[in-house]
A and B are shown apart, each in its own frame.
Chain A
Amino acid sequence: MANQIDRDQVQHVASLAKLEVNDAQLDYFTDQLDQTIGLFETLSAVDTTNVPATSSVTDQLNTMREDVADNWGEQAALLKNAPETQDDYIKVPAIIDESEAN
């Protein structure tokens, strides 16, 4: 195929996106992404010299409002959505792996 991306690059992109791709899936994803990036390559045929980039099509410039908070008191409801909590906090595994400390 087009060879726009190889297995190592797919593995690298997956790690940037916090995804794990195992060996069995690596060929499958590499092949599909390679084809799609080959499609992306077709844009190189378009002359875009001096053409500005468009990142949004909204007609709104800025929206201002009074700096007043209006959504207090939702702590309990928010915590109910968290996978694991303790007291009034969201609980997560240790950030620093203590087994490496000694």
Chain B
Amino acid sequence: MTYLNQDLADLHQALSDKKMSATELTQDTLANIKKMDSEVDAFLTLNEEAALAQAKQLDDQGIDKDNPLAGIPVAIKDNIMTNGLRTTAASRMLENFTPIYSATVVNKLANLDAITIGKTNMDEFAMGGSTETSAFKTTKNAWDHTKVPGGSSGGSAAAVASGEVLAALGSDTGGSIRQPAAFNGVVGMKPTYGRVSRWGLIAFGSSLDQIGVLTRGVKDNATYLSAISGHDIHDMTSSTNDVPNFAAGLDESASVKGMKIGLPKEFLGDGVAEDVKQAILNAAETYRQLGATVEEVSLPHNEFGVAAYYIISSSEASSNLQRFDGIRYGFRADDVKTLDDVYVKTRTQGFGDEVKRRIMLGTFSLSAGFYDAYFKKAAQVRTLMIQDFKAILKDYDMILGPVAPTTAYDLGSEVSDPMTMYMNDILTVPVNLVGLPGMSVPAGFSQGLPVGMQLIGRPFDEGTLYKAAYTFEQNTDFHLKTPKVGGQN
């Protein structure tokens, strides 16, 4: 069972018409994952037994014809809690950790009879852009196994791109859904901050984190986002705004006629590779031909986004990760004599280098004597960036730009060079600082590797992004190409 040529509607139809049982679909999905994962290494844990039990139960009770997600397997990033199923955040610290409750998003999917098929690899605690900081395995790009899958939701992106699953949940603190989606040629949505409950997401940067969806198609993405969105009593920052049916209207009637799109000149600056620039200019031209207006705009504080982001996210991380102390759950070092030993040795042995760097950067930025120059300054620059985006989105329906400055790079080439890795986030981190919805959509290829375009919208206006992305998808053929993986084409 490969999902490369399927969408949600096809599968739902087949299940509803009993052309295929949920059990068969689950069995075939597991078999295909096992085969594909010998190449891409996208999964950390499979939920084999429970998934098959759930599928059997669904077959016994019958598939609800009005529930498009029923019986369809979905993958979950391994920093999202799954009751009874190992959840590691790709860290030694949680290598043997089994949660006793599920994240709200996981409960919502389960209530809709979606089947959790397994947990996907990621950068340790979501800190990284290549999935190489995982303590457990190296995930490969679905299109070229010598390239990184992006990160931190690299396992989710590679799993979807290689046809292992139709959809996967990811999380995005500074680009961790959009960038791996771009590197693997799939659709990735980071919703507005507050659209989706963060309850049960292992916290990294709490004012930046959002859970979102990776899929091959735009419409499927919209369906899944509606399913996981909404206010949650357990997350004070989750919004009470109504949740639209995002997939409604994604049909022949969808159009971008009259839409105003801003193209920030800072998004096509010197650091962005020529092939990526060209793909975005082509996308702008496609939108013009489809009846939209595309005009150059400016985000004057964009160049400061990376610095502000790494101060704020690392500060929040240093606070959030204090909970990993070897006392209540997770790893505890062996050779300990005093309580302080437990803390220090557990954290020193349990965290990888990238996590330690971020914790130290955050602790430094918050420490006495440096707080004003770093943390407070970054929080003020954040305000200026919010004003920049607000000014543009007053006049434009959305912003268009690249997702990442380059296509996927070689495995091993940047993981020990944090500065280069951090600068690569320049196009994605502003969206998290500002809290807007941002989306990655396949928009071209360069030397066989996918290029993603980024669409950024007004708060809680994911609907406009989906409409624009769907219209683009229906008028281009980038999404129809599939990677050569597992002997398929």
Q: Do B356 and A19 touch (CB < 8 A)?
A: yes
Q: Mark B310-342, 1 if CB is under 8 A from A, else 0.
A: 110000001000000111111110001111111
Q: Do A14 and B360 touch (CB < 8 A)?
A: yes
A28 to B329 alpha-carbon distance, docked (Å): 30
List B contacts of A81 (CB < 8 A).
Answer: 97-98, 100, 328-330
Any chain A CB within 8 A of the CB of B233? yes
Any chain A CB within 8 A of the CB of B194? yes
List B contacts of A57 (CB < 8 A).
Answer: 193-194, 207, 386, 433-435
Question: Shortest CB–CB separation between residue B217 and chain A, in angstroms?
Answer: 29
Stretch in contact with the other chain, from B41-49, B370-378, B391-399, B472-480: B370-378
Q: Mark A23-67, 1 if CB is under 8 A from B, else 0.
A: 000000100110111011011111010011111111110110100
Q: Mark B337-375, 1 if CB is under 8 A from A, else 0.
A: 111111111011001000011011101110100000110
List A contacts of B238 (CB < 8 A).
Answer: 60
List B contacts of A36 (CB < 8 A).
Answer: 310, 357, 361, 418-419, 422
B367 touches which one: A16, A42, A56, A93 (CB < 8 A)?
A16
CB closest residue in chain B, given A84: B332
Q: Do B380 and A44 touch (CB < 8 A)?
A: no
List A contacts of B383 (CB < 8 A).
Answer: 51-54
Q: Mark B208-239, 1 if CB is under 8 A from A, else 0.
A: 00000000000000000000000001001111
Given A32-B418, A37-B364, A57-B435, does the pair A17, B318 have CB atoms closer than 8 Å? Answer: yes
List B contacts of A53 (CB < 8 A).
Answer: 376, 379-380, 382-383
Q: Do B419 and A39 touch (CB < 8 A)?
A: yes
List A contacts of B331 (CB < 8 A).
Answer: 83
Given A16-B363, A40-B365, does the pair A32, B381 have CB atoms closer than 8 Å? Answer: no
Q: Count contacts on B: residues with CB < 8 A to the other chain.
A: 71
Could you say which of B241, B325, B378 has the most chain A C-beta atoms within 10 Å of its C-beta? B378
Q: Do A13 and B367 touch (CB < 8 A)?
A: yes
List B contacts of A43 (CB < 8 A).
Answer: 304, 307-308, 311, 374, 377-378, 381
Interface of A is mostly: loop
B360 touches which one: A33, A52, A82 (CB < 8 A)?
A33
A84 to B332 alpha-carbon distance, docked (Å): 9
Given A43-B304, A92-B342, does the pair A60, B348 have CB atoms closer than 8 Å? Answer: no
Q: Do A58 and B193 touch (CB < 8 A)?
A: yes
Any chain B CB within 8 A of the CB of A69? no
List A contacts of B326 (CB < 8 A).
Answer: 83
Any chain B CB within 8 A of the CB of A88? no
List A contacts of B343 (CB < 8 A).
Answer: 18
Q: Do A92 and B339 touch (CB < 8 A)?
A: yes
Any chain A CB within 8 A of the CB of B62? no
List A contacts of B108 (CB < 8 A).
Answer: none
A43 to B380 alpha-carbon distance, docked (Å): 10
Q: Do A20 and B345 touch (CB < 8 A)?
A: yes
A20 to B325 alpha-carbon distance, docked (Å): 13
Q: Do A29 and B356 touch (CB < 8 A)?
A: yes
A93 touches which one: B239, B337, B356, B382 (CB < 8 A)?
B337
Q: Mark B387-416, 1 if CB is under 8 A from A, else 0.
A: 000000000000000000000000000000
List B contacts of A90 (CB < 8 A).
Answer: 327-328
> Which chain A residues in 1-25 approach chain B with CB under 8 Å?
5, 9-10, 13-14, 16-21
List B contacts of A51 (CB < 8 A).
Answer: 380, 383-384
Question: Shortest CB–CB separation between residue B184 and chain A, in angstroms?
Answer: 28
Any chain A CB within 8 A of the CB of B306? yes
A19 to B344 alpha-carbon distance, docked (Å): 5
List B contacts of A48 (CB < 8 A).
Answer: 377, 380-381, 384
List B contacts of A9 (CB < 8 A).
Answer: 364
Question: Shortest CB–CB separation between residue A28 and chain B, in angstroms?
Answer: 8
A18 to B351 alpha-carbon distance, docked (Å): 11
B residues within 8 Å of A by Cβ?
97-98, 100, 193-194, 207, 233, 236-241, 301, 303-304, 306-308, 310-311, 318, 325-332, 336-345, 347-348, 351, 356-357, 359-361, 363-365, 367, 373-374, 376-384, 386, 418-419, 422, 433-435, 459
What are 12 pairs between A and B in contact, CB < 8 Å? A29-B356, A29-B357, A36-B422, A39-B310, A40-B365, A42-B304, A43-B308, A43-B381, A53-B379, A58-B236, A60-B239, A81-B98
Q: Ordered nearest first, which 7 A-B pairs have the shortest CB separation? A: A57-B435, A53-B379, A83-B332, A81-B329, A48-B380, A58-B237, A77-B100
Contacts beyond the supplied A29-B357, A81-B330: 8 A-B pairs with Cβ under 8 Å: A40-B307, A51-B380, A58-B194, A58-B435, A62-B236, A82-B329, A83-B330, A93-B338
